[in-house]
Structure 1
Amino acid sequence: MNVKTKVQLSLMMFLEFFIWGGWFVTLGTFLGHNLKATGAESAMAYSTQSWGAIIAPFIIGLIADRYFNAERILGVLHLLGAFMMYQMYMAVDFAGFYPYVLGYMILYMPTLALVNSISFSQMKNPAKEFSFVRVFGTIGWIVAGLIISFVFLWDSETSREEGLLKNTFLMVAIASAFLGLFSFTLPKTPPKVKTDEKISISGILGLDALRLLKDRNFFIFFLSSILICIPLAFYYQNANPFLSEIGMENPTGKMTIGQGSEVLFMLLLPYFFKKFGFKNTLIAGMLAWTVRYFLFAYGNAGDLAFMLILGIALHGICYDFFFVSGQIYTDSKAGDKFKSAAQGLITLATYGVGMLIGFWVAGKITDSYIMGDGVHSWTDIWTFPAIFALGAMILFAIFFKNEEVEYKE
């Protein structure tokens, strides 16, 4: 890639994840403080991510890959997303907010595949070149959190009481409009599939890879992937409201420690993978979820604040060791014929089915442990996903037979 293209793709990734991190992290806190939403309503809002993940393959497979350049679709989706985000900013109750967050996530989730497609099409050696571009996405997410906490102080107790947290949606709407316009200047990425080529719904959703489930090990991994997404949903939905409610200062900014950890452990993953093997790496990732949630359950914003910070910092192990390792394992099991289908199937199972169930469960559990004045019994709430993650880990450890998986950098 030439320098201009590298800069364009890096800015694209920065904005893509700045947009996501700029509102999704604080969504639960906003819903509780600004819209007085219940745990069940928060679950509905977060579940829009899963519905977006389920619908996204149809937009990519039936439209983007067949009729239009990827960069143009990206531009249109983000411009429409800017409108949806502005309507979320203007909402005064959950009933008026929900249709727009649902519409937004249906528009946004396909863009995650589009930015990858645009990037890969410009790279001669994606295995070596993509990581440089993709890391700017993580940086974008971190910058969004730091701006919210340390520049505008929107997640401070005073700002929350004044309702200023809704300004995150306005910030993201502006960034989305900018990325929408900027997308039309990106390198041309024409459709990959000819319009007269036959395309099946099962192929779009990755269902062609269902035959991999006949392999006992892959079935156990597939089932474990769905199960571990249930406790994962608790983190997305409850972490920021939890930290805000117990009085931690600058919670959104401090949560960016998790993204820094993600970058660090991504670099360390090849070592762990080669040293301890695939099974032990996944077990470590699943066990980290249990440890993290127990740290949240028994930590506090005072003398035990280090437990909360450590729990946030475990994000790199929680995410990289399970999900990234899982993508590598899926790639190795699928073979050339079903690589794309298999990755699509895992995405549908985790971000679609697994997290859809997880958000619903998290909403029910959260509503079950409300004490006086809307204060939650967080020890009880966090204990549930901790034990659930431990159970999923034990299931995987017992029934998954160790096998060699090659790590290809």
Structure 2
Amino acid sequence: MKTPGRWRLSTMMALLYAVQGAFWPLLGVHLLELGIDGRWRGLIFASQAVAATLLPLGAGQLVDRLMPTRTFLVVSYAVGTLILAALGSGWIVGPGPLLATFFLYFCVAMPSHSLASSLALRNLDAPRSEFAAVRLWGTVGWMAVGWGVSGLMLALGGGRARPGGMHEVFWLAAGLSAAMAAYCLVLPRTPPLAREDGGRTSLRKGLELLGERDVRVFLITTFGVFLTMPLAYQVIPGYLAARGMPREWVSTAVSINQVPEIAALAVMPWFLGRLGYKGTMAVGLGAWFLRYLVLAAHPPLWLAVGVGVLQGVGIACFSIGGQVFLDGRAPATHRASVQAVFLVVSTGLPSLLGSLAAGEWLRRTVPGDDPWVFLVPCILTGALLMYFTRGFRSSQVSTAERPAASRVDVDAGPPQRIHTMRGAAASVGDQVTETADG
């Protein structure tokens, strides 16, 4: 049975991912056309990771304890709209000012990703079977805006590289951000559930969760995998352009990655039911390994573009499957904080290190001529796949779902009963545990 009003959560995901999808795939090309060298480009990309490391845990505590999630999202995207408009104006062009501006933007925008996921998971009656269908619309939003960017650039005659960069994509992102800020006003009401807990209690509960073997193996694997993620957005667009891809089609070519992601998310309940968390995530890791292996072989342009579909499989099966897994393990009163932990371990510190490494690599090599830039992550991802399959022990996902009593309705008051754990396979006293993936 579908959660009533699920379309509102789906629209939220579509707008959230469309905002960043408007400019992120072309950011590397934009900075290159502004004359920003590889090291500064790496620092600018790394600013997202720094923000994702420093801000989400505090934001998660804020909405768990003091502020409704939708209020935080409204403020975040209203401020983000102003920053994106400043970037679109073309006044900010130097490496230092660009770094400061992007860092400020990501400080207000990055916490929204984990908080939006937490809000959706909290307001779904059956998150294990429904969350993938909601998150799917985030991928649709990212793809749709990628195609829209290509159409906009063609309409504006943006097919040739020019010193001014691609400021039009930031105006589009600013418009979408303003729409997101307004839309967040109609999201389900999610009042804080952890007002009675102190910071020490939150830390203790987080450490207890990290003490579980399967959670620990999953987070270590996530950290290693996301060391390689900056390649997807920092190196590959420039790689495709250097191999002959017209600049106005780069955004569309990169968005091809999301086609199988949509399909994988649509059948995610089937994946989890047949393969369990472990098998589903192993499929995602294997997809990333195969993609880097093919790119390291220096394939023709058509294959370099086509193999990008494996990126979407990896995101759907490993990253999003992992979010569902962590939500099932999280205490009901600290779900936003636990999703923030995932953001820090994925988009945070490892992406920071990976962005800096990718920037240095680009500074020392010619785009499109160095297959080693893909061979190193290929080896790392293969090693992580072996570690994950050997270290993660559970393989089944239960069919039990979170009781409706643990869900906070749109306009209702606090729930009568807060379950300590959700998505359970077996109950132990007041706690419910599930067999997990890694």
Shorter chain as denominator, the TM-score bin is: 0.7 to 0.9
Alpha-carbon distance in 2 for matches of 1:276, 1:214: 25
Instruction: Indicate yes or no: 2:76 matched with 1:77.
Output: yes
- Name the counterpart of 2:206: 209
Deviation readout 1:282-313 (Å, 9 max, x if unpaired): 3332232222123223345xxx2331233211
- Partners of 1:161 and 1:283 lie apart in 2 by 43
Q: In the alignment, is the contact (CA less than 8 A) between 1:81 and 1:173 conserved in 2?
A: yes
State yes or no: 1:219 paired with 2:216. yes
Q: Is the 8 A contact 2:31 2:165 kept in 1?
A: no
Quote the residue 1:291 is aligned against.
Answer: 290
Report the secondary structure of 2:397's partner residue.
Answer: coil
CA deviation after TM superposition for structure 1 residue 207, in Å? 6.5
Alpha carbons 1:149, 1:252 under 8 Å: kept: yes
> Number of residue pairs matched?
395
Higher mean displacement: 271-280 or 68-77: 271-280
State how far apart, in whole Å, the 1-side matches of 2:398 and 2:81 are.
39
Work out whether residues 369 and 380 of structure 1, in 8 Å CA contact, stay in contact via their aligned partners in 2: no
**When the two structures are superposed, what TM-score results if normalisation uses the length of structure 2?**
0.78
Partner residue, 2:44: 45
TM-score normalized with structure 1 length? 0.83
Shift of residue 229 of structure 1?
1.0
Question: Residue 396 of structure 1 is aligned with which of 381, 388, 391?
Answer: 388
Mapped contact 1:273–1:281 kept (Cα < 8 A):
yes
- Cα RMSD for the two superposed structures: 3.4
| Counterpart for residue 92 of structure 1 | 93
1:306 matches 2:298: no
**Comparing both structures, which one devotes a greater share of its residues to helix?**
1
CA offset at residue 369 of structure 1?
2.0
Aligned residue number for residue 353 of structure 1: 349
Q: Is the 8 A contact 2:214 2:392 kept in 1?
A: yes
The 1:296/1:157 distance shift into structure 2, 3 A limit, reads farther
What stretches of structure 1 of length at least 5 have no aligned partner?
none
Do the aligned partners of residues 167 and 207 (structure 1) sit closer, same or farther apart at CA in structure 2, a change above 3 Å counting? farther
In structure 1, distance between residues paired with 2:210 and 2:70: 35
In structure 1, how many angstroms separate the alpha carbons of the residues matched to 2:187 and 2:337?
Answer: 26
2:375 equivalent among 380, 383, 386: 383
- Alignment partner, residue 150 of structure 1: 151
1: CA distance, partners of 2:215 / 2:118: 27
Say which SS state the counterpart of residue 159 (structure 2) adopts.
Answer: helix
* 8 Å Cα contact 2:51-2:110 kept in structure 1: yes
Aligned ranges 1:226-241 → 2 under 5 Å: 226-241=223-238
Please tell me the residue identity of whatever aligns with 1:245. Answer: A
Query: 2:408 is matched with which residue?
Result: none
> What amino acid is aligned across from residue 47 of structure 1 in structure 2?
A
The residue aligned with 1:101 is 102
Q: Deviations over 1:117-146 (max 9, x none)?
A: 554566555555555543332221111100
- Structure 2 spans left out of the alignment, 5+ residues: 402-438
Q: CA, structure 1 residues 11+325, in 2 after alignment: closer, same or farther (shift >3 Å)?
A: closer
Aligned to 1:254: 253
Identity of aligned residues (%): 22
* 1:243 positional shift: 1.5
Shift of 1:187: 4.4
The code of the aligned residue for 1:314 comes to L
| Offset of residue 328 of structure 1 | 4.5
